[in-house]
Amino acid sequence: MQYDVDFLVIGTGIAGLTFALKVAEFGQVAVITKKEAAETNTNYAQGGIASVLGKYDSFELHVRDTLQSGDGLCKRDVVEMVVRDGPTRIRELMDWGVAFSRDHTGSLELDLGLEGGHSHKRIVHAGDFTGQVIEQVLLERVRSHGNIGLFENHIAVDLITYSTRVKRGTVTAAHEDLCCGAYVLATETNEVHTFRTKLTLLATGGAGKVYLYTSNPDVATGDGISMAYRAGALVANLEFVQFHPTCLYHPEAKNFLISEAVRGEGAILVDLRGRAFMKDYDSKQDLACRDVVARAIDHELKKSGDDCVFLDITHKEADFVSERFPNIYQKCLSFGTDMTKEPIPVVPAAHYMCGGVLVDMDGKTDIKRLYAVGETACTGLHGANRLASNSLLEALVYAHRAAEKAVKDLQSTDMEVCGDLPPWDPLGTADSDEAIVVSHNWDEIRRFMWNYVGIVRSNKRLLRAQHRIENIQKEIHEYYWDFRITSDLIELRNIATLAELIIQGAILRKESRGLHYNIQYPEKDDRFWLKDTILRRPFVG
């Protein structure tokens, strides 16, 4: 089946939904999402959104903190633009119905939290359910908008570009290209539909599932970055993977994050013997930037052989802790830890992709009619290391700018330029009798990425990982074209591409900066590496 719409939005997190609501005033929008609509990274965000709303805070300070965290690679014009637009976007969310927490004094002022790397309290939050509250409000609006069609359980397989010809095993793409839509698998019926569009937005979120341990939900398999790369778009800075220092350590607590805001309220990291170790690593101690804290924990664990470290907030009033962190408190309690009485066991986990599809200040990629916003994009805001709670902010600001630009582009965009799109060619028609190939390769990629391309890297481990991924890619490739596609296979193909790109970026960058740390090059090298790592798929003629 073919759908013709003005705008195709892939992803239902804060980026996709905000964009959809804005462009829907000007055209028909199809919003597709691969599972239920609320299953997004956005929905799990606890801490909040960084923005300058406090009396003693200033744009200059937020800009300075962001640049410091980004370790030389942030684009200053992008940082200034995002920081200055923040308060307007927050007020817009509030006008749409998002109820952020007010301060404890009973005034109507917003309660602003503090997180690592911020010099002031500036994190706007809704308890510790910030993402969920935003997601609900945006989704309700999208569901009730007459110009928006929401397609749940629809997974985008590949972008369709003007020059794309899907042959057996080869996708060719010219670099000056035009996006005409996407092939999308409806997972409940196993049919692949063609969405023909004037403008396409990738808002597919992050790629935490490339790693064995991650704070991200299962949907975070880097699909947008992989699809854009396959279509010939530029991608950048994928070696900068942020590992969150504190995920709950429990065999059944899949992906549960203990927000940085807990350290912001005074929690201290201690080892099994109760020793507070952050003073050995950074003058800011427990409020050092995430990469410093994650590396410190990694070092402590490698040194001691322990399974986890602990986050201790028992010195604070029990009522304060359970009221400030109701979600975290309840979750820990359900796994047997009362955080008001005992330290929480924690480990680091892959959390956020600073790199992604390279875009300009309006969220435009270098393929015409293709935009990318949110975690899937690389805007230049985060540089080599994202400052905490700057990502929801970035998604909001860029969704707004991309929507304004896309609406302007719509007037001059002719659907017919793309002509009739070829229907999806189901090359492999047999159902797989060896699903084990998919599950084995999933596990293998995630494990070697954790062990070889994790928090601390070395040349030897990176080359080992490169060798592994080359072999796995060959296997996936053969399998992909022989059997009928499934969502597992689509995601496997995408995490393999992401793994390959992260490894490539990490091998190319011969220094340590921000989130990328290589023991062979422990220092930063501004002479050669004060630049982005930009990759493009080689042209296959």
Ligand X SMILES: Cc1cc2nc3c(=O)[nH]c(=O)nc-3n(C[C@H](O)[C@H](O)[C@H](O)COP(=O)(O)OP(=O)(O)OC[C@H]3O[C@@H](n4cnc5c(N)ncnc54)[C@H](O)[C@@H]3O)c2cc1C
In the bound complex, what is the minimum distance in angstroms from residue 536's beta carbon to ligand X? 21
Residue 69 has which token pair?
């965290």
Closest CA to 116 of 512, 311, 386: 386
In order, the DSSP letters of 375-401 are GGEE-SSSTTSPPTTHHHHHHHHHHHH
Selected from 5, 9, 34, 504, the binder of ligand X by CB under 6 A is 34
Beta carbons of 378 and 237 less than 8 angstroms apart: yes
**Could you say which of 20, 22, 23, 44 contacts ligand X (CB under 6 A)?**
44
Q: What are phi and psi of 354, to 5 degrees?
A: -75, -30
Say whether residue 246 binds ligand X (CB under 6 A).
Answer: no
Nearer to ligand X, 507 or 515 (CB): 515
Residue 122 to residues 14, 54, 110, 203, Cα–Cα distance (Å): 19, 6, 10, 26
Rounded Cα gap, residues 116 and 114, in angstroms: 7
Shortest Å distance, C-beta 210 to ligand X = 13
CB nearer to ligand X: give 211 or 529: 211
CB of 291 to ligand X, least distance (A): 16
Q: Where are the alpha helices (DSSP H) in 179-336?
A: 223-231, 260-264, 290-304, 318-324, 326-334
| Region from 42-50, 297-305, 324-332, 338-346 binding ligand X, contact rule CB under 6 A | 42-50
Out of 223, 239, 298, 300, point to the residue binding ligand X (CB under 6 A): 223
Residue 335: Cβ within 10 Å count:
15
Look at residues 286, 371, 397 and name the one whose alpha carbon lies nearest to residue 62. 397
Q: Name which of 41, 42, 32, 43 is nearest 187 in CA terms.
A: 32
Q: Examine residue 329 and tell whether it contacts ligand X (CB under 6 A).
A: no
Q: Is 46 in the site for ligand X (CB under 6 A)?
A: yes
Under the criterion CB under 6 A, does residue 219 sit at the interface with ligand X?
yes
Q: How far is the CB of 100 from ligand X (least distance, A)?
A: 12
Listed ranges 201-209, 288-296, 300-308, 463-471: which one lies at the site for ligand X (CB under 6 A): 201-209
Nearer to ligand X, 28 or 487 (CB): 487
Of 255 and 504, which has the nearer Cβ to ligand X? 255
Residue 440's H or E segment, with its range, is helix 435-452
Binding mask 393-422 for ligand X (x = CB under 6 A): --x---------------------------
Nearer to ligand X among residue 244 and residue 468 (C-beta): 244
Residue with smaller CB distance to ligand X, 263 or 461: 263
* Catalytic residue flag (residue 536): no
Give the C-alpha separation, 474 to 225, whole Å: 20
Nearer to ligand X, 15 or 462 (CB): 15
Query: Looking at 24, 47, 239, 258, which residue binds ligand X (CB under 6 A)?
Result: 47
35 near ligand X (CB under 6 A): yes
Residue 234 contacts residue 358 (beta carbons within 8 Å)? yes
Q: How far is the CB of 280 from ligand X (least distance, A)?
A: 27
Q: How far is the CB of 466 from ligand X (least distance, A)?
A: 25
How big is the chain by its Cα radius of gyration, in Å? 22
SS (H, E, C) 85-112: HHHHHHHHHHHHCCCCCECCCCCCCECE
Closer by beta carbon to ligand X, 42 or else 379: 42
Cα separation of the two ends of the chain: 29
Q: Using CB under 6 A, pick the residue from 203, 278, 289, 465 that binds ligand X.
A: 203
CA distance 292 to 69: 11
Q: Name which of residues 247 to 276 contact ligand X (CB under 6 A).
A: 257
Rule CB under 6 A: say whether 216 interacts with ligand X: yes
**Does 181 help bind ligand X (rule: CB under 6 A)?**
no
> How many CB atoms sit inside 10 A of residue 34's CB?
26
Q: For residues 394 and 511, which CB has a smaller minimum distance to ligand X in the complex?
A: 394
Catalytic residue among 290, 369, 386, 401: 290
Nearer to ligand X, 289 or 465 (CB): 289
Q: Which range, of 93-101, 216-224, 304-312, 425-433, touches ligand X by CB under 6 A?
A: 216-224
Sole window of 104-112, 212-220, 360-368, 454-462 interacting with ligand X (rule: CB under 6 A): 212-220
Q: Is 352 in the site for ligand X (CB under 6 A)?
A: yes
Q: Closest CB to ligand X belongs to which residue?
A: 13
Does 159 help bind ligand X (rule: CB under 6 A)? no
Q: Decide: is 375 part of the binding site for ligand X (CB under 6 A).
A: yes
Q: For residues 125 and 254, give the distance between their C-alpha atoms in angstroms, rounded to a whole number.
A: 24
Site size with ligand X, rule: CB under 6 A: 42
Residues 212, 449: contact at Cβ < 8 Å?
A: yes
CB of 173 to ligand X, least distance (A): 18
State whether the Cα torsion 142-145-151-156 is positive or negative.
negative
Which of 396, 362, 414, 366 lies closest to 199 in space, CA to CA?
A: 414
What are all long-range contacts of 160-165, with beta carbons under 8 Å and residues at least 24 apart?
160/194, 160/196, 160/418, 160/421, 161/231, 161/232, 161/367, 162/417, 162/418, 164/231
β-bridge mates for residue 288, sequence order? none
Joined tokens for residue 450: 């954790």
CB 30 within 8 A of CB 5: yes
Listed ranges 77-85, 139-147, 265-273, 373-381: which one lies at the site for ligand X (CB under 6 A): 373-381
CB nearer to ligand X: give 156 or 462: 156
Span interacting with ligand X, options 21-29, 32-40, 434-442, 445-453, rule CB under 6 A: 32-40
Is 127 a residue that touches ligand X (CB under 6 A)? Answer: no
Query: Does residue 257 sit in helix, strand or coil?
Result: strand
Binding site for ligand X (CB under 6 A): 10-16, 32-35, 39-42, 44-49, 130-131, 155-156, 203-206, 215-216, 219, 223, 257, 352, 374-376, 389, 391-392, 395
Q: Which residues are catalytic?
A: 290
